[in-house]
Structure 1
């Protein structure tokens, strides 16, 4: 189809009329055509229109609108997108808050319903004057997908518009599915009528969303397999890291609304309405993010959660620019096919190779520059963190030992010291470079290995020889005592103590006397210190006290 059906004059006129419909002044760029990506999905599954709330740019799939036979609905489509910007949701923070709540009510929901919720609000406003134009969009959508069955959720959604705009049954929903739907969901048409009469009369949007979820749950068979393609139902962008972070820590704002929903009978006692742990909320709202984005986003949100916990124990210093990690470039080598292209040093290549630069590039790796001791006298800190299976994965559940390591690393870095972390369990440990940035250290300390506990004595010996001026802190539990029960391993620990500024064993053990007996040989050296806690919950406060004692200027 050609875009010639939509002249610039027509698009401009529809855009101005759509802006006038909302009677507000907005800073939005005039609509641009959607760039089709038919190679990735069927043409009919392409978005009809959507808005980038960050760039404030509306995009329209003019080609799909033409194939749907809904060219005259352009103004209504544009007004729909503007409505998302000015009122529903207006901010992605509100969308994120709703996504966090729906995961409490419908755990494991694969595809969020929030866009449908906002569409019901936007279309009610636009439909006051352009209901038929919106109806033509939904009819056209079904015309271009004649072989695709209408899901119960989509059927009920269309029934709502038939009731809202006083259309007879079958005007939007497929007539042949009316009978089967009544058999599968008795009273669904009456429920649609009741929904329209109730939903738009509710004075609070929190009440509206709870009623919306409670109603739509009935038409979702398997939440973890829910996938729907509905026109204009995927036009709100995903919330970003800041939005989801605020939503994961704001569940208590819904307490009154949830209580009211139960009293009204919208939610049964079986519905999980209790406020989730922030880590559980983060896991749920990021579980079904497309591609690998969910994993990266989840780790960033988890890191922010631990930063909040760390800040409860560590004094906040005035904000200052983050210090980049210092790196040195290695000796240049010939770049070969298969090597990482990002390692090519093009400046050096052009200067040294001349005309052959394009065919004979040179690569140089980056290696960490070993830092000097802190200018403030605070020693470099080396943290050995036990991540065995006796403790949970810090991304799924609060790990007290991980929190303790982050408290210690944050304290050192905020005092302008450097930190190196060794995350260990069974097998090869993970060793970081020397870190200057708190966020970098916190992210590294979120690593988790699991399995049995085997302290890396060989690496301890190696690193103590490399950096004898460092303060070394071992964070573990009673498993560490099993490790030092091996005489050669205990001797390696003693050797590392002699080569270090100090070594601290920070352990969660039920019996301190037994622990001192097991570490008697190491305790004979004044550079070895033992700090114990009995309960995991004591790790955070104890780490704050320990860091103050060890790193006080």
Structure 2
């Protein structure tokens, strides 16, 4: 019987190694090199794919290593990646990031180190809990006269009480013995919280590759790497804008024992390490959305305690010019079995009465964010302007408001959403863009939008610095002051400006804007924007 048939019959048994309730699609066997390349299985004999929770197996490579008799060992190991370590893309991303902090200048090797670390937990579980022959798989792969490989294999020998030399090659140095002993204790101490040991494990691995100036994955390790592109085909993972870094071996390191805030550039690097193929705008959108969620607040809305309620008063003749859906077909057929539009068709007539219900009218948000050269690039560094804009925009969407976002820099240099919309992805993609040019407020957008009073009240919010003076001082065909004054009046929901000013009380343009009804909130640094966004609705700016 072909070994593939045997392995397929053992799939359910392999699932039960972890739980009676684990359900995964059966493993996918790849029979040709073309199939392997299509699925991305080019170096290892097995791999996982988190997108559809599949296990991929190379028939030819399994034969080349003579692993046909180890179905449960290999199937159980790959299932362990799905249900145990890492389990999902978020945990995988956290491990990759923590490892990168411990391996400066060797970040290209961190996915490999993470993979090896996860294998230790899974293999130890299968060996101790299920009594599988995990060491025999490594016997088939073969010994290597390599310091890192010997350190890795010596760790297994200590975990499973195997005689020295069972999996290792030659005389081992004291450093290898010491490192293996530390890691074996680490695996036993953190079986359910592996993020605690990731920094220490990567720190132990670092010298093995740094001293050899390793630029790529060692050939003998490549056959074991089954999680390298686990995130291929997936969207950027949520929930990793902050990661806890802990260490038992290096507790005095400034980087450990704290919650580390990622930058957009670091988040982008993690996505690349996971095999995620997404453009910069998609990655940046995901980053700022996650960063905003803890700060979301209710957005202002007008409350009407005497909302009108409709009451059915009877029927009246339906006119052919009225919408077809207004016809009351039941009453029409009762009136005449033969329906003649405009003669026998009737529609309901409603009156209004005062209700005790409270009617809420969300105020739309018109957000203008300065993106000139004095502002940080939100795609590489954490931009508090972008973060504050995201917090306020997403808060507005929560209460039913529509949002228009405009990113502006120099003259005629702006990016805006297609009017007032409720698509958070489109809103944040505009917010996370970047110009980095001169400074010139887009008066034409204010002029066009507020020529007349809009149907829904709007609040105009501007986030900028001293460059806000271009709102009134730029060379514009029509009077800027008249345009700004009319916009504030017709918006009906008020206007606010959050400004980083070098001399708050000595800026004549800002003083003029404040006298004309704009609420001015000077801040000392961009970090203060977070406090402003959190307390945005507590400030009395809504004009009912």
Give the structure-1-normalised TM-score. 0.68
* Match of residue 486, structure 2, among 474, 495, 498: 498
2:207 corresponding residue in structure 1: 218
1:308 corresponding residue in structure 2: 293
Distance 2:536 2:163 in 1: 69
Query: How big is the shift at 1:22?
Result: 5.2
Q: Is the 8 A contact 2:86 2:118 kept in 1?
A: yes
CA offsets 1:361-413 (integer angstroms, 9 cap, x no match): xxxxxxxxxxxxxx965565432210123222334444343344345434544
* Match of residue 438, structure 2, among 452, 475, 484: 452
1:134 corresponding residue in structure 2: 137
CA offsets 1:161-216 (integer angstroms, 9 cap, x no match): 466563665x756x6xx69xx8xxx6454345534653444366445444422321
Distance 1:35 1:473 in 2: 60
2:152 corresponding residue in structure 1: 157
Q: Is the 8 A contact 1:423 1:430 kept in 2?
A: yes
The 5-angstrom pairing of residues 263-282 of structure 1 reads 269=253, 274-279=258-263, 282=267
Distance 1:244 1:82 in 2: 21
1:439 corresponding residue in structure 2: 424
Query: How big is the shift at 1:60?
Result: 1.8
CA offsets 1:445-477 (integer angstroms, 9 cap, x no match): 222222332223345444445986765433211
Query: How big is the shift at 1:134?
Result: 0.7
The 5-angstrom pairing of residues 108-257 of structure 1 reads 109-110=107-108, 111-112=110-111, 113-127=113-127, 128-139=131-142, 153-154=148-149, 156-161=151-156, 166=162, 169=165, 187-191=174-178, 193-195=180-182, 198-202=185-189, 205-206=193-194, 208-221=197-210, 227=217, 229-235=221-227, 237-238=230-231, 244-249=237-242, 251=244, 257=246
* Match of residue 410, structure 2, among 418, 426, 438: 426
Query: How big is the shift at 1:515?
Result: 2.9
Q: Is the 8 A contact 1:48 1:61 kept in 2?
A: yes
Distance 1:552 1:150 in 2: 77
Q: Is the 8 A contact 2:200 2:250 kept in 1?
A: no
Distance 1:242 1:297 in 2: 8
Cα–Cα, structure 1 residues 402 and 19, in superposed 2: closer, same or farther, change >3 Å? Answer: closer
CA offsets 1:140-176 (integer angstroms, 9 cap, x no match): xx9xxxxxx987544543454466563665x756x6x
Distance 1:189 1:11 in 2: 36
Query: How big is the shift at 1:19?
Result: 4.7
CA offsets 1:209-264 (integer angstroms, 9 cap, x no match): 4442232122232999554553333248349989953344452xx5xx53x4336x
Q: Is the 8 A contact 2:93 2:274 kept in 1?
A: no
Tell me if 1:106 matches 2:99.
Answer: no
Distance 1:303 1:552 in 2: 30
Cα–Cα, structure 1 residues 493 and 378, in superposed 2: closer, same or farther, change >3 Å? Answer: farther
Q: Which has the larger radius of gyration?
A: 2
Distance 2:18 2:284 in 1: 39
The 5-angstrom pairing of residues 47-58 of structure 1 reads 47-52=44-49, 55-58=52-55
1:539 corresponding residue in structure 2: 529
Distance 1:138 1:90 in 2: 26
* Match of residue 283, structure 2, among 298, 306, 322: 298
Q: Is the 8 A contact 2:461 2:495 kept in 1?
A: yes
Distance 1:377 1:129 in 2: 64
Out of 472-481 and 87-96, give the one that drifted further. Answer: 87-96
Structure 2's unaligned 5+ residue stretches are 303-358
**SS class of match (1:498):** helix
Q: Is the 8 A contact 2:372 2:435 kept in 1?
A: yes
Q: Is the 8 A contact 1:422 1:432 kept in 2?
A: yes
Cα–Cα, structure 1 residues 486 and 449, in superposed 2: closer, same or farther, change >3 Å? Answer: closer
Cα–Cα, structure 1 residues 444 and 298, in superposed 2: closer, same or farther, change >3 Å? Answer: same
Cα–Cα, structure 1 residues 189 and 44, in superposed 2: closer, same or farther, change >3 Å? Answer: farther
Distance 1:76 1:404 in 2: 50
Out of 96-105 and 35-44, give the one that drifted further. Answer: 35-44
Query: How big is the shift at 1:33?
Result: 0.9
Query: How big is the shift at 1:429?
Result: 0.8
Tell me if 1:474 matches 2:454.
Answer: no
Answer 1 or 2: which has greater helix percent. 1
RMSD: 4.4
Out of 41-50 and 209-218, give the one that drifted further. Answer: 41-50
Answer 1 or 2: which has greater strand percent. 2
Distance 1:291 1:243 in 2: 7
* Match of residue 401, structure 1, among 385, 392, 396: 385
Q: Is the 8 A contact 2:372 2:437 kept in 1?
A: yes
Q: Is the 8 A contact 1:376 1:416 kept in 2?
A: no
